[in-house]
Structure 1
Amino acid sequence: MTNAILTETIRPVSFASARRDPDGFAAALGRSFRETGFAVVSDHPVDTGVIERALEDTRAFFALPEAVKRAYFQDGGGGQRGYTPFAMENAKGEAQKDLKEFWHRGRDLPAGHPYEAVMPPNVPVAEIARFDASTKALYEALDAMGGVLLEAIARDLGLPDDWFAPAVDNGNSVLRLLHYPPIDGDPKGVRAGAHEDINVITLLLGAEEAGLQVKTRAGDWLPIQPPEGALVVNIGDMLQRLTNHVLPSTTHRVVNPSRERMKFPRYSTPFFLHFNPDFEIRTLPGCVTAANPDRYPQAITAHDYLLERLREIGLK
């Protein structure tokens, strides 16, 4: 996607303005989310060294022999931590499996934490010396940035800036290291079928290979490739539900490349920011009006909502 098209459709919002002009930042971010469910945030604070080290180790992991990678698969774990093999996950409502494999890193909890029963420990990798440290560093950087974005979202919704803080301080957030292998021949599926994310917000750094597309309200597919130094943020189903669809969770997909690019793999590192497992997703009163009545009169915990989706996408 060219930068010209990008700025006409989803105008980048500078993260540097979050502290300098919090009202302006919140309004710009909220406007983009309300119109498209997505925002492009430029001048992000995540150190390039942190990103590069995590990506280097991601490539090294997926280059390991299949038998070595499969030893890190947590059977029955719903893909929450460790390795999920190629063609195991599908988009909600789709029978065809996605052409991808991935690794999940979550939050490190202290021993005896109340969430231990529903948030499994991370899986250490023996073959790549720096893997655990580099992925942890990227996780923590994106988690911190996500907290600032939630402050802006709260402000835009007319809530106190710190409204989300106690709801996500021990959230079941996940860093997903994604590998879409080179494509041979004429596959039946696509790299990632059309779907919406389940979580609160997703932070996505730009990938070297194109393929991410967003579905517009008119039903067209818009390619998204953030410029260097920017990332894409999108609303997940949990926040859509909390806000009674004031902030929409937008459908997106990763399409297969052109014939000349099929021989190249694609790597991506989305950070799925989640609520605490026992947080009750209950419609915000300020998002209910006569024109927009409450779609979800029954509250649900974030953990129960997650389990529902894991079953729908074939991981449970």
Structure 2
Amino acid sequence: MSHPESLPEFQVPVIDISAYTGAGGADERADVARKMDSACERVGFVQITGHGIPSDVLDGLTAAVDAFFALPLDVKKNYRADGNRGYSPPKSESLSLSLGLESATRMNDFFEAFNVGTEARSFPELDLSESDYGLNVWPELTDFRPKIDSYYAHAGRVARTLTTVFADALDLPRDYFEYLTDHSIDVMRMNNYALPEGTVTLDGELTGMGAHTDFGIVTVLWADQVAGLQVLGRDGEWHDVQPIDKALLINLGDLTARLTNDRWMSTLHRVKPPIVDGTIRRRRSVAFFHDGNADAVIATLPSHLDADDGLAYEPITVREHVKAKLEGSQKGKANVAAVREAARVLAAQAAHR
């Protein structure tokens, strides 16, 4: 299989998945699967409608996110935690290092974040390690946890629905992804790109979130309709992406690219500072990462061994892959294994010199 030619004009397809979330028939689901296959092959990003998340759940999510990030910085820092959980202050991470790329200023991503996720004790019947799954910390805010838990459950449902669509699109058994995800490392990251006036210098090096690919199988993203998110197209150019009304943005992670030998794209993306009249405009996003079981081995599908000139990825466990990526973004240790992803960033940089 060879990569398709670039689209004449970059666009993120919009796909209505209600055939999978509602009472769609076989023909309707097959049409969705065909559209998903094309979108994943050409772009790696999709906007989905028909996801079935109620408006009141989304309203509760945004209210909870606003309430947490409105807290004083000293209070938020009390909720720092290990294991990709809790609060991350501004400029404490550098996502470009998850690709093994040195940046001019390490730990220069100016977003702040709060993470929750699946815990080892979520699966009492399994002997799972907290080093893989982490322990959540919860801020002492009224109704914060119920609102977050409600959206988290819906986002997880959407992610699992999407893996069913993926299985259909790849001509796999419909339950194919279950053995990879029945005790998945799922993490939900709430991001805030607004900082108090005067705390940053707009000197050209400031990065909202550095260029990176997501770690796992699929990401479900709620985001403000504020400029900032950019996606690297096959043309080597960075393109602005904003969600349409009531849509969620979906992108593939590295592990799905490995399964398909890069026929489906784990697309590089970044967030540039949303600057209006010299000041940073507020931008929020909430990313639900569906990463797979820590002990699952990800290997190229037999049907895709001839993709990318037959250069298959080496099998890797989800645990090994996630660890390498996190050591880059959070601990400043360049990920030397991200060769293909880093090459795409470097090529885009060279094209703009």
* TM-score over 0.5 for the pair: yes
Report the alpha carbon displacement of residue 171 of structure 1 after superposing the two structures with TM: 0.5
Asked whether 1:179 is paired with 2:195, we answer no
| Structure 1 residues 152-198: Cα deviation after superposition (integer angstroms, max 9, x where no partner) | 11111110111002211211111110011246441432101111111
Give the total of aligned pairs.
Answer: 305
TM-superposed CA distance for 1:284, in Å, is 0.9
**3-state SS of 2:211 partner:** strand
Q: 1:290 to 1:14 in 2, by over 3 A?
A: closer
Query: What is the CA-CA distance between 1:217 and the residue it aligns to?
Result: 0.6
1:81 to 82, 85, 103: 85
Deviation (angstroms), 1:288: 0.8
8 Å CA contact retained: 1:40, 1:226: yes
Distance 1:162 1:308, change over 3 A: same
Question: What residue number does 1:31 align with?
Answer: 38
Q: Give the CA deviation at 1:116.
A: 3.5
Q: In the alignment, which residue of structure 1 is the partner of 2:16?
A: 14
How does 1:148-167 map onto structure 2 within 5 Å?
A: 148-167=161-180
Partner residue, 2:115: 104
Alignment match of 2:54 (pick from 39, 42, 47): 47
Following superposition, the deviation at residue 264 of structure 1 comes to 2.8
Letter in 2 for 1:98: D
Kindly state the Cα deviation for residue 262 of structure 1 after the two structures are TM-superposed: 2.8
Aligned twin of 2:139: 125
1:313 aligns with 2:329: yes
Alignment partners' CA distance in 2, 1:39 and 1:81: 27
Structure-2 change in CA distance of 1:27 and 1:290 (3 Å): closer
Distance in 1, Cα, partners of 2:307 & 2:194: 49
2:252 is matched with: 235
Q: Distance in 2 between matches of 1:290 and 1:68?
A: 50
SS at match of 1:162: coil
Shift of residue 94 of structure 1? 3.7
Is structure 2 residue 182 aligned with structure 1 residue 195?
A: no
Assess, with a 3 A threshold, how the Cα gap between structure 1 residues 8 and 293 changes in structure 2: closer, same or farther: closer
Which of 263-272 and 171-180 deviates more? Answer: 263-272
- Separation (CA, whole Å) in 1 of partners of 2:307 and 2:243: 37
Deviations 1:230-274 (A, max 9, x none): 111111111111211111111111111233373432111011111
Percent identical among aligned pairs is 28
Q: Which amino acid counterpart does residue 309 of structure 1 have in structure 2?
A: K
Amino acid paired to 2:137: V
For residues 25-78 of structure 1, the C-alpha deviation after alignment (integer angstroms, 9 at most, x for no partner) is 11101101100111111232111111111111111111111121111111xx25
Return closer, same or farther for 1:230/1:261 CA change in 2, 3 Å cut-off: farther
Aligned to 1:299: 315
Q: Tell me whether 24-33 or 182-191 shows the greater mean CA deviation.
A: 182-191
Match of 1:4 in 2: none
Task: Give the drift of 1:112.
Answer: 6.4
Say what the alpha-carbon RMSD is for the aligned residues: 2.0
The residue matched to 2:71 in structure 1 has which SS?
coil
Q: Which runs of 5+ in 1 are unaligned?
A: 1-6
How far the C-alpha of 1:121 sits from its partner, in A, is 2.2
In structure 1, what is the equivalent of residue 350 of structure 2? none
Q: Unaligned stretches of 5+ in structure 2?
A: 1-8, 333-353
Q: Is the 8 A contact 1:212 1:255 kept in 2?
A: yes
User: What is the TM-score normalised by the length of structure 2?
Assistant: 0.81
Runs of 4+ in 1 over 6 A off after TM superposition: none
CA distance in 2, matches of 1:168, 1:272: 12
Counterparts of 1:221 and 1:153, CA distance in 2: 26
Task: Quote how far apart the aligned CAs of 1:133 are.
Answer: 1.4
- The letter for the 2-side match of 1:159 is L
Cα contact 2:215–2:254 (8 A) shared by 1 = yes
Give the Cα separation in 2 of the matches to 1:27 and 1:84. 39
Asked if 1 retains the 8 angstrom alpha-carbon contact of 2:186 and 2:291, the reply is yes
d(CA) in 1 for partners of 2:174, 2:125 = 30
**Maintained 8 Å contact 2:209/2:272:** yes
1:140 counterpart SS class: helix
**Inter-partner Cα distance in structure 1 for 2:328 and 2:151:** 28
- Distance in 1 (CA, whole Å) between partners of 2:188 and 2:323 is 18
Work out the CA distance in 2 between the residues paired with 1:40 and 1:248: 15
